[in-house]
Amino acid sequence: MTIIKMTAAQVARKLIEKQPLFILDVRNTDAYDDWKIEGHNFEYLNIPYFDLLDGVEEIIPKLPTDKDVLVVCAKEGSSVMVAEMVAEAGRDVFYLEGGMKSWSSYLEPIKVGDLTGGGELYQFVRLGKGCLSYMVISEGEAAIIDAVRFTEVFTNFAKEKNVEIKHVFDTHLHADHISGGRHIAEATGATYYLPPKDAEEVVFDYTPLEDGLTVKVGASQIEVGALYSPGHTIGSTSFVVDNKYLLTGDILFIDSIGRPDLAGLAEDWVGDLRETLYRRYRELAEDLIVLPAHFMIIEELNEDGTVAKRLGNLFAENHGLNIESEEEFRRTVTDNLPPQPNAYQQIRQVNMGKITPDNEEQTEMEIGPNRCAVR
């Protein structure tokens, strides 16, 4: 029987298209329980690699014959060895090229919609980490919002679209992933914007991203308007793009709301979070389409793989937007917090420019699920 590699991009298409897949995950149980490849029609079996060193005979009957079987490990090596044993036992089998490391770094660009005058808005979905980045394109120019560290994905996409990256924004100082914004700006000559209240300790130059700032993208005058919206961080800033889309950063998600504790100031910032969600956002048009910087669960993906929902629907359906008592809201966002992101303090230091870890160290920092939301 044959052993074939499956790329992260191929797994992504199976996920988005709701195709079936059986995943044999050979990482240790604690790593698997913390973080795995999520999919609508995916089935799982977790058997640590070390338990399979003497052979795979016992698990062969547990592997389906009517769907693809994908062996997954951390970096690829162990899954190749297990896949070879499964093939020797007479079964066709795939292994994930690059392992969970490649799954964590893969970005799927998906068009969200058209903008005035022929412009386009793209969402880059980092399926393995839950991160969402954006590119606004109009008449030869582009603006990028909340880019992750894989800068070539964005610069190559801009080349494919024959556009020049003019503006790069971070909605806040990220704590759960390393930003690629500053590096994209340095490589392209674009202007890099960061909220000044989040940037008091950064050691590089930036352009202040302040309430009311409007940046034009392209000759068709697509406006990327800044809306100060503190709560997740004290500088958190949202964007209204083309009077059609609301990019909420890590303040508001489809199924939850942002956590205020990643700088150790949950008690101080919970009031800001409520003010943003219950007053500032309530003043906006309910027809705006919310585009967050993260998603938490696979059910938040739409049929086309995008993560987007009308603001008015979220006012009706998102529990975090419907807590009448201020005291209960305070308890909800300070008592129901998930574990803090892996290495989040170090990630903040990287995003301030204070430390410059190599690529392998950055990968280790980012391993695991994102944890930017209140449960």
- Domains of the chain (ranges plus CATH)? 3-103 (3.40.250.10), 107-366 (3.60.15.10)
Task: Indicate the range of 33-47, 228-242, 250-264 predicted with least confidence.
Answer: 250-264
Residues 86-131 have pLDDT tens digits of 999 999 999 999 999 999 999 999 999 999 989 999 999 999 999 9
What does the pLDDT average to over 230-240? 89
User: Three-state SS for 159?
Assistant: helix
What does the pLDDT average to over 193-197? 95
**Residue 338: predicted pLDDT:** 72
Q: Report the C-alpha gap between 257 and 266 in whole angstroms.
A: 13
Q: Which residue has the tokens 């309430």?
A: 211
Q: Report the C-alpha gap between 253 and 19 in whole angstroms.
A: 26
Residues written for the chain: 375
Q: Which of 320, 296, 299 is nearest to 370 (CA)?
A: 296
User: Residues of 287-309 as b/e, b for ≥16 C-beta within 10 angstroms?
Assistant: ebbbbbbbbbeeebbeeebbbbb
Task: Indicate the range of 199-208, 250-259, 267-276, 314-323 predicted with least confidence.
Answer: 267-276
Residues 128-184 have pLDDT tens digits of 999 999 999 999 999 999 999 999 999 999 999 999 999 999 999 998 899 999 999
Angle, vertex CA 325, rays to CA 320 and CA 331, nearest 5: 65
Q: In the structure, what pLDDT confidence band is assigned to residue 232 with cuts at 50, 70 and 90? A: confident
Q: How many CB atoms lie within 10 A of CB 195?
A: 26
Q: Which of 196, 102, 195, 103 is nearest to 145 (CA)?
A: 195
Inform me whether the pLDDT recorded for 262 exceeds 60: no
Inform me whether the pLDDT recorded for 261 exceeds 70: no
Residues 204-228 have pLDDT tens digits of 999 999 889 999 998 666 788 889 9
Q: How many CB atoms lie within 10 A of CB 237?
A: 28
Which amino acid, 315?
Answer: F
Catalytically annotated residue among 26, 70, 73, 323: 73
Backbone region of residue 221 per phi and psi (left: phi > 0; alpha: psi in -120 to 50; beta: other values)? left
The two three-digit tokens of residue 215, written as one number: 């940046």
Which amino acid, 150?
Answer: F
Strands (E), 92-205: 93-96, 108-115, 119-126, 131-138, 141-145, 164-169, 191-194
**Residue 345: predicted pLDDT:** 86
138/258: higher pLDDT: 138
The answer for residues whose C-beta is within 8 angstroms of residue 231's C-beta and 6 or more apart is 251, 258, 260, 269, 270, 272, 273, 274, 275, 276, 277
**Residue 222: predicted pLDDT:** 75
SS (H, E, C) 317-351: HCHHHCCCCHHHHHHHHHHCCCCCCCCHHHHHHHH
Instruction: Find the helix packing angle between 266-275 and 326-335, rounded to 10°.
Output: 130
Partners of residue 168 on adjacent β-strands: 144, 192
Q: In the structure, what pLDDT confidence band is assigned to residue 271 with cuts at 50, 70 and 90? A: confident
Q: Which of 163, 160, 128 is nearest to 36 (CA)?
A: 128
Q: In the structure, what pLDDT confidence band is assigned to residue 270 with cuts at 50, 70 and 90? A: confident
Q: In the structure, what pLDDT confidence band is assigned to residue 335 with cuts at 50, 70 and 90? A: confident
Q: Are 235 and 173 in contact (CB under 8 A)?
A: yes
What does the pLDDT average to over 189-217? 93
Q: Which residue has the tokens 């308890």?
A: 331
Inform me whether the pLDDT recorded for 188 exceeds 60: yes
Which amino acid, 231?
Answer: G
**Residue 13: predicted pLDDT:** 95
The whole-chain average pLDDT of the chain stands at: 92
Q: Whole-model pTM?
A: 0.93
Has 372 been annotated as catalytic?
no
- Which run of H or of E encompasses 374? none
The secondary structure of residue 12, as a DSSP letter, is H
Give the distance between the most distant pair of CA atoms in the chain. 65
**Residue 332: predicted pLDDT:** 85
Inform me whether the pLDDT recorded for 44 exceeds 80: yes
Q: Please give the torsion angle defined by the CA atoms of residues 350, 340, 333 and 286, in that order, rounded to the nearest 10 degrees.
A: 60
Task: Indicate the range of 4-8, 167-171, 231-235, 352-356 predicted with least confidence.
Answer: 231-235
